């Protein structure tokens, strides 16, 4: 892997992170992260709270600048880019925030229409059609007129996803999509992620500490601990691991046991 030219577009890996470091004051959060995100796959980053998973993802979109290291998106190093240049790279991304981060001064429809109004020259009618289609896709047919403050947690997340996918990005980042949801809603969100990945062919990056969800939908799992990626592999490889930290982390959740085989397709 070290022999490949990172500045060339790679068919297998869409995002490649090398030796990423980030400190906040005295707190050294990322300590040399190396990460390869597979194109068109669901890549899940697990790890305990405060390990820097969200910080890592914010670096991928240029919301934070690293102290050291490189991030290649389709072969382009995004670290040296300024805010204006970064905006063109960000058009490849969509992000679903932990608390959805909907614009609370707008209705659901305005939230989802926002990226279209900002970045396309489509007519109002066409925008309404596209928004309605995306909302229908996520089971939100009658929510257009609602204010975002009136939505439940699960609905807000679906609206957030609708807003993130309305411009049809190539890469979708989900920041703890199932945190704070009941088991049914969690499963719905899992299905939503898996179906979005399959239907739109996007590269998905999911931050999670929900092990049941992770093993249900992941194509590849990364574990971030102590500021580094300490393990990575397919769910089957992860279950066969001898890494003690990883075994403890996964088994403590009580939902997955080592020696289990992950279900094929995963969504049963």
Partner 1 sequence: MDESSPASSKEKRTARWIGMVDALWRQVFGPLVTGFETFGHILALSGQAFYWLFRRPFRWREYLVALDFIGVGSLSIIVLVGIFTGAAFSLQVTDTFRTFGMESYIGAMVTLALVRELAPVLTALMVTARAGSAMATELGSMRITEQIDALRTLAVSPVQYLVTPRIVASIIMMPLLTMVFSFAGMVGAYFVAVILLEVDHGLFIAELEWMVDAYDIKIGLIKAAIFGFVLSSIGCHQGVSAAGGAKGVGLATTRAVVYSCVTVLMLDYFVGDILLIIYESPS
The interface region with partner 1, picked from 80-88, 130-138, 179-187, 220-228 by CB under 8 A, is: 80-88
Least distance from partner 1 to the Cβ atom of residue 91, Å: 5
Q: Does 88 bind partner 1 (CB under 8 A)?
A: yes
Instruction: Tell me the pairing of strands 27-38 and 171-175.
Output: unpaired
Tokens of 175: 């920041």
Exposure string of 214-248, with b = 16+ CB inside 10 Å and e = fewer, is bbbbbbbbbbbbebbbbbbbebeebbebeeeebee
* Interface pick for partner 1 out of 115, 154, 177, 235 (rule CB under 8 A): 115
179 binds partner 1 (CB under 8 A): no
**Smallest distance, Å, CB 201 to partner 1?**
20
- Measured from the CB atom, is 164 or 207 closer to partner 1? 164
Closest CA relative to residue 225, chosen from 11, 30, 19, 44: 30
| 10/38 Cα distance (integer angstroms) | 10
Nearer to partner 1, 153 or 262 (CB): 153
Q: Which stretch binds partner 1 (CB under 8 A): 82-90, 129-137, 217-225, 260-268?
A: 82-90
* DSSP helix/strand/coil, 91: coil
Instruction: Determine if 39 is a binding residue for partner 1 (CB under 8 A).
Output: no
The Cα-based distances of 17 to 44, 119, 125, 229 in angstroms read 15, 28, 41, 11
Q: Of the two residues 171 and 250, which places its CB atom closer to partner 1 in the complex?
A: 171
Residues 220 and 234 sit within 8 Å (Cβ to Cβ): yes
Q: Residue count at the site for partner 1 (CB under 8 A)? A: 26
Name 72's Cβ contacts closer than 8 Å, sequence gap at least 6: 6, 7, 15, 16, 17, 18, 78
CA distance 111 to 237: 40
Contact between 63 and partner 1 by CB under 8 A: the answer reads yes
Is 87 a binding residue for partner 1 by CB under 8 A? The answer is: yes
Closest C-alpha to 69, from 95, 30, 39: 30
CB-side neighbour CA atoms (13 Å) of 116: 22
101 binds partner 1 (CB under 8 A): yes
The residue count of the chain comes to 268
Name the residue nearer to partner 1 (CB basis): 86 or 228. 86
Per CB under 8 A, 114 contacts partner 1 = yes
Q: Name which of 106 and 230 has its Cβ closer to partner 1.
A: 106
Establish if 24 lies at the interface with partner 1 (CB under 8 A): no
Residue 83 makes contact with partner 1 by CB under 8 A: yes
Binding flag, residue 94, partner 1 (CB under 8 A): yes
Task: Select from 4, 7, 68, 99 the one that contacts partner 1 (CB under 8 A).
Answer: 99
Whole-number CA gyration radius for the chain: 19
Q: Phi and psi for 173 in degrees, rounded to 5?
A: -110, 130
Residue selected from 5, 11, 82, 118 as contacting partner 1 according to rule CB under 8 A: 118
Residues lying near partner 1 in the complex (CB under 8 A): 58, 61-63, 83-84, 87-88, 90-91, 93-95, 97-99, 101-104, 114-115, 118-119, 163-164
């Amino acid at each position: 892997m070290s022999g490949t030219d990172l500045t060339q577009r790679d068919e297998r890996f869409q995002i490649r992170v090398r030796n990423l470091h980030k400190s906040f004051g005295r707190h050294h959060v990322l300590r040399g992260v190396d990460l390869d995100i597979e194109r068109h796959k669901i890549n899940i980053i697990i790890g305990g709270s405060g390990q820097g998973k969200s910080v890592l993802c914010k670096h991928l979109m240029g919301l934070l600048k690293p102290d050291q290291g490189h991030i290649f998106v389709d072969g382009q190093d995004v670290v040296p880019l300024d805010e204006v240049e970064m905006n063109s790279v960000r058009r490849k991304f969509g992000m679903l925030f932990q608390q959805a981060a909907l614009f609370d001064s707008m209705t659901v429809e305005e939230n989802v229409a926002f990226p279209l109004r900002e970045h396309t020259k489509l007519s109002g009618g066409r925008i309404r059609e596209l928004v309605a289609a995306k909302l229908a896709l996520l089971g939100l047919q009658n929510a257009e007129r609602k204010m975002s403050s009136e939505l439940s947690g699960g609905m807000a997340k679906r609206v957030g996803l609708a807003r993130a996918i309305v411009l049809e990005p190539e890469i979708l980042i989900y920041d703890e999509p199932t945190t704070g949801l009941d088991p049914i809603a969690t499963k719905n969100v899992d299905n939503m992620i898996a179906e979005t990945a399959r239907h739109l062919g996007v590269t998905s990056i999911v931050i999670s500490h929900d092990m049941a969800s992770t093993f249900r939908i992941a194509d590849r799992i990364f574990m971030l601990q102590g500021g580094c990626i300490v393990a990575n592999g397919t769910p089957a490889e992860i279950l066969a691991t001898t890494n003690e930290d990883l075994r403890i982390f996964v088994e403590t959740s009580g939902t997955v046991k080592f020696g289990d085989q992950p279900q094929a397709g995963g969504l049963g």
